[in-house]
Amino acid sequence: MFQTVLYEGTPAEQYELLIRQLEGLLAGETNRIANLANASSLLGQFLQNINWVGFYLAEPDGLVLGPFQGLPACVRIPLGKGVCGTAASRRETIRVEDVHQFPGHIACDAASRSEIVIPLVKDGELLGVLDIDSPLEARFNEEDQKGLERFADRLTALL
């Protein structure tokens, strides 16, 4: 679905390059929606074997769809529901090898088999979550989680 740009080096080096690209892309821009849109596009180009990448933004009653790349998605997710709502309420990353085994999984795209969701927290405030889906089971490993958490931390600092 996405045109992937391949980079040389270890996965850790590749994620560091991705973070540097994010910093360059967001430099000087203060609009949160524009920055999230560019971040989702950057991830869509960088990551292999994904079918959806984007953000759900925190609102008082849950999460609402933000900038993304992929098929149309669920618009609202209550806190504590599905992978996104659970990660948001716990404020911790959730990596799911098989979404069909996750209790209460919300299926926005039937092709998705695995998922990683990383909360975006700044100064103690939940801003939203980064959500990435893959049509492959067990697509995301510990190295991806560490790299994506670093990406999310840097993005949150720039918002």
Distance between start and end Cα atoms, the chain = 28
DSSP string, 40-73: HHHHHHH-SS-SEEEEEEEETTEEEEEEEEES--
* Tally of domains in the chain: 1
* Structural domain includes residue 5: no
What pLDDT shows up at residue 15? Answer: 94
Question: Which residue range(s) make up the domain with 76?
Answer: 11-158
- Residue 55: strand pairing partners: 130
* Structural domain includes residue 1: no
Query: Could you tell me the CA-to-CA distances from 72 to 2, 51, 52 in Å, in that order?
Result: 15, 11, 9
What pLDDT shows up at residue 6? Answer: 53
Chain segment 57-88, per-residue pLDDT in tens: 999 999 999 999 999 999 999 999 999 999 99
Whole-number average pLDDT of the chain:
92
* Structural domain includes residue 3: no
Find the farthest-apart pair of alpha carbons in the chain and give their distance in angstroms, rounded: 43
**CATH code of residue 100:** 3.30.450.40
* Structural domain includes residue 6: no
* Structural domain includes residue 2: no
Is pLDDT at 2 greater than 50 in this prediction?
Answer: no
